[in-house]
């Protein structure tokens, strides 16, 4: 898949919602998980058996999610997978269990079909490790844990057949840079600790609390930058347009692969009287009592019409992951803005 030449796409994130189904049936549309604590309570053989069952279910569920996405219109064939495909994999107490031959065979046989369907259906895949997976840190233990978690996500991509080289099929594993004290050089210094496959999948996004867009631009020669438009707005109040000069180095950082960006919207009830026909004004919202934390929270959908239209303009150069509480429902609604019919 040459993602630089594919039609623009918007992605749903992590969970599939179907309000028409009973709660139990809707839960079955999404992956299952367990805890390190629960696995520690079991004898190794029992823990392995439990993981085999979970991996089988998760493989089938992921396959169904990808197949469902592959049946969507071309402009919606992208998704961010949840991180718990292989439960507790990166924990040092649990990771050795995955070396068991039966469990390893289960992982391989469970994930390979999902990756094949993604390739055949033109579904772009991504993953996003959690907020504690940070490479820019002054603590060796935190850095080591981050490397282990990124390598776990890389292993998932390997089992799916989406690793090796530079962002194959447009796949990527996106992280936040980390702690401010370590600086960008701290992030850059950690990159050699990753495998070649991990470095070929890794991307980094701007955030609200430590590293903004300008802070990350020096990394454009090291790895792709994921522009999060909402994070940027929360910090600056600016609606960055596609012709902004900062876009060029971000686009170039992907080295021929179509970039991915993130969009979300502030909640419509932050202050009374927010108008869905008027762009949210950061300064006015703060003056009316909204806190920075309030602004960071994601809304259920892209409810504000000029805001959605502004976001849609960025499809001219990037695919868009919609970070919204109503997941695929929000993406479907946004798709009607991006790809109007008639």
pLDDT band at 133 (very low <50, low <70, confident <90, very high): very high
- Tell which wins on pLDDT, 132 or 228: 228
pLDDT band at 26 (very low <50, low <70, confident <90, very high): confident
Q: What is the pLDDT of residues 145-155, one digit of tens each?
A: 999 999 999 99
Averaged pLDDT of the chain: 95
The pLDDT value recorded for residue 262 is 98
**Helix segments in the chain, DSSP class H:** 23-27, 36-40, 44-70, 101-121, 140-160, 183-190, 196-199, 213-216, 229-236, 247-252, 282-287, 292-296, 305-313, 327-338
pLDDT band at 257 (very low <50, low <70, confident <90, very high): very high
What does the domain layout of the chain look like in residue ranges? 10-128+202-338
The pLDDT value recorded for residue 85 is 97
The pLDDT value recorded for residue 210 is 86
Quick one: CATH architecture of 10-128+202-338? Answer: Alpha-Beta Barrel (3.20)
Q: 3-state class of 81 per DSSP?
A: strand
Euclidean distance between CA atoms 267 and 299, whole angstroms: 4
Mean pLDDT to the nearest integer, 306-313: 97
SS (H, E, C) 15-46: CCCCCCCCHHHHHCCCCCCCCHHHHHCCCHHH
Our CA dihedral for 226, 231, 236, 238, rounded to 10 degrees, sits at 70
Euclidean distance between CA atoms 204 and 194, whole angstroms: 14
Do 249 and 263 meet the contact criterion of CB atoms below 8 Å apart?
no
What is the total residue count of the chain? Answer: 342
Percent of all residues in the chain with a pLDDT value above 90, rounded to a whole number:
89
Residue 31 has pLDDT above 60, yes or no: yes
Q: What is the pLDDT of residues 263-279, one digit of tens each?
A: 999 999 998 889 999 99
CA-nearest of 160, 227, 142, 226 to 197 is 160
Tokens of 79: 């998704």
Q: What is the pLDDT of residues 320-336, one digit of tens each?
A: 999 999 999 999 999 99
Q: What are phi and psi of 172, to 5 degrees?
A: -155, 155
Mean pLDDT to the nearest integer, 210-222: 95
Mean pLDDT to the nearest integer, 198-206: 98
Euclidean distance between CA atoms 128 and 11, whole angstroms: 13
Q: Note the maximum CA span of the chain.
A: 61
Q: What are phi and psi of 53, to 5 degrees?
A: -65, -45
pLDDT band at 179 (very low <50, low <70, confident <90, very high): confident
Q: What is the pLDDT of residues 6-16, one digit of tens each?
A: 789 999 999 99
Residue 2 has pLDDT above 60, yes or no: no
Residue 288 has pLDDT above 80, yes or no: yes
């Amino acid at each position: 898949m040459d993602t630089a030449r594919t039609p623009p796409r918007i992605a749903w994130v992590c969970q599939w919602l179907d309000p028409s189904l009973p709660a139990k049936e809707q839960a079955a549309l999404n992956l299952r998980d367990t805890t390190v604590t629960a696995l520690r309570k079991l004898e190794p053989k029992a823990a392995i058996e439990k993981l085999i069952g979970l991996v089988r279910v998760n493989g089938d569920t992921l396959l169904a999610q990808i197949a469902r996405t592959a049946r969507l219109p071309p402009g919606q064939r992208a998704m961010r997978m949840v991180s718990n495909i292989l439960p507790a994999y990166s924990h040092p107490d649990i990771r050795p269990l995955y070396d068991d031959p039966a469990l390893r065979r289960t992982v391989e046989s469970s994930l390979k079909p999902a990756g094949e369907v993604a390739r055949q259906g033109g579904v772009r895949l991504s993953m996003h490790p959690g907020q504690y997976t940070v490479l820019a840190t002054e603590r060796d233990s935190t850095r080591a844990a981050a490397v282990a978690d990124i390598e776990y996500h890389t292993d998932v991509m390997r089992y799916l057949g989406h690793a090796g080289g530079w962002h194959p099929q447009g796949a990527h594993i996106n992280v936040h840079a980390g702690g401010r004290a370590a600086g960008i050089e701290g992030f850059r210094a950690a990159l050699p600790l990753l495998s070649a496959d991990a470095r070929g999948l890794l991307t980094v996004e701007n955030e609200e609390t430590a590293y903004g867009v300008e802070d990350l631009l020096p990394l454009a020669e090291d790895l792709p930058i994921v522009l999060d438009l909402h994070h940027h707005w929360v910090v600056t109040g600016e609606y960055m347009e596609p012709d902004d000069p900062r876009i060029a180095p971000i686009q170039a950082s992907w080295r021929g692969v179509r970039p991915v960006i993130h969009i979300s919207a502030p909640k419509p009830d932050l202050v009374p009287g927010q108008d869905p026909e008027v762009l949210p004004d950061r300064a006015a919202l703060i003056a009316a009592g909204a806190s920075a934390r309030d602004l960071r929270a994601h809304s259920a959908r892209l409810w504000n019409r000029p805001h959605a239209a502004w976001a849609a303009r960025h499809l001219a150069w990037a695919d868009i992951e919609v970070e919204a509480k109503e997941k695929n429902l929000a993406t479907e609604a946004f798709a009607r803005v991006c790809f109007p019919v008639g």
